Structure 1
């Protein structure tokens, strides 16, 4: 369903489209974070998919890199571990290059077989038995959150709902001190930010100082878990598992930040995105209200539509010819999930928001293959329960003005989302 016309958005989109069409392809830099903050990246990826689906950017704030923009091509790169590496020693999973002394290895920035051993450590947390237990708490926390929201006044949905509910879930997963749970949100934001004026942190030194606080805090919790009988929380599993209990400090922090960011950013920004999407497509909200059984479809569609992780990066281990282009050993390669999820050759009417699609799970938002998000079922469960409780209470959640988006080409998310709930 096409969105409701909006003069401000339409003018902005038209300007972005005209610039994307007039700019020479060799000047394209689809990873410019400003494109994502202004929500004007779409026409650049549209043109790349049609004219140059494997594109080389020779100069950017992140250095030179390749862009893979088609759905099937992304899968081919994602599954070719012999040539395309996610290893942190080569730069890791984002376009941002980190100096070797600051690189922190996690299982998502490892290649097999080391990746497999560390991933298996936390997999038991996301079994069906645990999910059934989590569901009870998710519903209780959702009820408390929604029953305490203000009505007939503007408030920030990101802060009051998206951050609060996802941070509470993270605190449960880590068995983290409840009163300090917002530290998890802060560390997630710091870990994924691009330092600069007006950003989450101004400099890389500030970023590292806050991540140092994260290490010290979790080190204290780690020591306590090591000296306790094993429990089912993530930190206890990491502390007692043979594959992760003796890792170096960099690997320790890397795995922690991966779990914090993965548990926070995906659900948090998809939950905010669901409000944005349904405000733009009120006919779909009416469809949902008339048939709440469509919540499962809504969850998958908004995960695709939002694509909370815009890209993952790989590094070429050898020269390779790929779709007529020559990728050299050491080159950075960005798999743009945000583009693959709008690929017209794979997804019918990809710019339409349709909560009853025939194949709703056909998206790349959780990655593909061995690096596919280990907590995806929990993310889906959270979103489903939250929307079940929303439909019980609210006729409409109205966006008031434009949201403020994150300055990042990695996390595609919202800083603020002003809304009003009429009673």
Structure 2
């Protein structure tokens, strides 16, 4: 069994049910410990981890219960990841890590960017850009799907949402990768590096903000913030926090689901054949791929009072990891959950976007982008063949891919 060292240098056994270990995700072997957790009832207190003690909530129903009680299980008290905010850390308030009523007001400000009518307005543009990218890809030659398709499509979308300078849009990917890396919490040197990088991000967006002050309202997110009572007077750190939320939320989720489309269908050729034969399944397959991937593995809540959850005594101040990744493989809700089943009847019940007041505000946009990618691939009768194991993110928060070598063929 592997060992950790305590502060006194005494070896400490690794808890096999500590699902925060980065190698589980790097090596794609997280399924077994979560299966064990669910078999034991789905609620488990991990005493020792790289992030300190925490509760794992690993089955569907208790996660929905916790998410439905935001006054007892707070997003604000300890933040949204199981990495604790430490002395000297940058404090970046963001509405996903706020409780009511402030959460409600700030979320309401950006929500108009993601309404059904906005989705209709944006869909032609998304389709045009997706078509351009697919038509530029080499058929029959190796390339990196993550960089050429997943990152490029999502970064273009973010640039449009923020009215961000087009030629500099890859800065958004760079900032997102630094902001979303939970493992940095364990390394003081990289933490300081992140601080500098995020301040650069804040300064850049500060200039964009200044350029829009006093101008007519526009449909981009910065303009929406400027023209809202809830967000127009944010200090620099709150502005940065909400930007990081929207960048990571808009980037990592969609990008890693787009990569899962290539990787996942490669694993289940019967499902791929069914989808290729019937493009009418694309809407449902979009939900199923998001469920199967679950691009954010967990969200954290902190108990504000002593309470009970399925017979377990939770103390005020306890940290809970809500493992959406595991809930989406809960066999009592999703039979044969480890497989991609493109015509799964209840694929839409997945928890990849969360549940309750913090359900992802941009969920519709993510679904639209992934669905259009699949439609445009189908129109061209293109299939992504993955050539070898992808390189994955080694972390328990963003569940994603760094590189994936593919070759396109036609069917």
Q: Same fold (TM over 0.5)?
A: yes
Pair 202,388 (structure 1): closer, same or farther in 2 beyond 3 Å: farther
Aligned mate of 2:173, from 175, 185, 205:
185
Aligned mate of 1:364, from 329, 337, 351:
351
Compute the displacement of 1:326 (Å): 1.5
Q: Which residue of 2 aligns with 1:408?
A: 395
Asked if 1:292 corresponds to 2:279, the answer is: yes
Once residues 110 and 100 of structure 1 are traced to their aligned partners in structure 2, the CA distance between those partners, rounded to angstroms, is 20
Compute the displacement of 1:52 (Å): 4.3
| Aligned residues of 1:303 and 1:365 also touching (Cα < 8 A) | yes
Q: Which residue of 1 aligns with 2:40?
A: 51
Compute the displacement of 1:183 (Å): 0.4
Compute the displacement of 1:97 (Å): 1.4
Structure 2, unmatched stretches of 5+, are 1-12
Q: Which residue of 2 aligns with 1:104?
A: 92
1:358-410 residue CA offsets vs partner (Å, 9 max, x unmatched): 12201100000110001111111111111111112244211011000001111
Compute the displacement of 1:202 (Å): 6.1
Q: Which residue of 2 aligns with 1:5?
A: none
Once residues 374 and 330 of structure 1 are traced to their aligned partners in structure 2, the CA distance between those partners, rounded to angstroms, is 27
Once residues 54 and 186 of structure 1 are traced to their aligned partners in structure 2, the CA distance between those partners, rounded to angstroms, is 35
Aligned mate of 1:62, from 51, 69, 91:
51
| Aligned residues of 2:15 and 2:48 also touching (Cα < 8 A) | no
Q: Which residue of 1 aligns with 2:61?
A: 72
- SS of 1:396's equivalent in the other structure is strand
Once residues 91 and 285 of structure 2 are traced to their aligned partners in structure 1, the CA distance between those partners, rounded to angstroms, is 37
Compute the displacement of 1:100 (Å): 5.1
Asked if 1:30 corresponds to 2:19, the answer is: yes
1:233-283 residue CA offsets vs partner (Å, 9 max, x unmatched): 001101121000101222111100000011101110000001111100111
Within-5 A mapping of 1:21-420: 27-87=16-76, 90-99=77-86, 101=88, 102-195=90-183, 203-420=190-407
- SS of 1:287's equivalent in the other structure is helix
Structure 2-normalised TM-score?
0.93
Once residues 141 and 180 of structure 1 are traced to their aligned partners in structure 2, the CA distance between those partners, rounded to angstroms, is 17
| Aligned residues of 1:27 and 1:57 also touching (Cα < 8 A) | no
Structure 1, unmatched stretches of 5+, are 1-23
| Aligned residues of 1:394 and 1:421 also touching (Cα < 8 A) | no
How many pairs align? Answer: 397
Compute the displacement of 1:324 (Å): 2.0
The CA RMSD over aligned residues, in Å, is 1.8
| Aligned residues of 2:16 and 2:33 also touching (Cα < 8 A) | no
Compute the displacement of 1:189 (Å): 0.4
1:311-340 residue CA offsets vs partner (Å, 9 max, x unmatched): 000111111122222211111100000000
Structure 1-normalised TM-score?
0.91
Q: Which residue of 1 aligns with 2:7?
A: none
Pair 270,27 (structure 1): closer, same or farther in 2 beyond 3 Å: closer
